[in-house]
Amino acid sequence: MAFIGAGFMNSFHAKSWTAVRDSEIVAVCSTSLQHARTLAELCGDRNVGTPKCYTDVSATVQDPDVDAVWISVPNDLHFPITQVICEEKMQGNSNLRAIACEKPLALNVPQAKEMVRLVEKAGLLHGYLENQVYAPSLVRGKEIIWSHVGDAERPYLAKASEEHSGPHEPWFWQKHRSGGGALIDMMCHTLEATRYLLTAPNENKSDVTVKSVSAETANLKWTRPGYVERLRESTHGQVDYSKAAAEDFARASIAYEDKQGTDLIAENTVSWCFDGPGVRLFFELLGPEYHMQVNSLEPELHVFFGRNLKPTPGEYLVEKQAAEQGLMPTIADETFTYGYQSENSHMVSCFLGNRMPAENWYDGLFIQRLMAACYMAAEKGTKLQYPPASLED
Nearest distance from residue 262's CB to ligand NAD, in Å? 31
Nearest distance from residue 80's CB to ligand NAD, in Å? 8
> With respect to ligand NAD, which residue has the nearer C-beta, 4 or 27?
4
Concatenating the DSSP letter of every residue in 186-206 gives IIHHHHHHHHHHHS-TTS-GG
> Which candidate, 287, 39, 57, 271, places its Cα nearest to that of 154?
287
Cβ-proximal residue to ligand NAD, closest one: 7
Nearest distance from residue 206's CB to ligand NAD, in Å? 24
H helix intervals, 209-325: 225-234
H helix intervals, the chain: 8-16, 33-45, 57-62, 78-90, 109-122, 136-148, 170-173, 175-178, 182, 188-198, 225-234, 334-337, 340-352, 361-380
Q: How far apart are CA 291 and CA 337, in angstroms?
A: 20
Footprint on this chain of ligand NAD (rule: CB under 6 A): 4-10, 29-32, 35, 57, 72-75, 77, 102-103, 131, 169
Nearest distance from residue 64's CB to ligand NAD, in Å? 20
> With respect to ligand NAD, which residue has the nearer C-beta, 9 or 25?
9
> With respect to ligand NAD, which residue has the nearer C-beta, 101 or 378?
101
Residues 6+ apart with CB under 8 A from 255: 210, 211, 212, 213, 263, 264, 265
Nearest distance from residue 92's CB to ligand NAD, in Å? 22
> With respect to ligand NAD, which residue has the nearer C-beta, 57 or 122?
57
Nearest distance from residue 94's CB to ligand NAD, in Å? 16
Q: How far apart are CA 305 and CA 326, in angstroms?
A: 5
Is 330:317 a contact under the CB 8 Å cutoff? yes
> With respect to ligand NAD, which residue has the nearer C-beta, 119 or 264?
119
> With respect to ligand NAD, which residue has the nearer C-beta, 4 or 66?
4
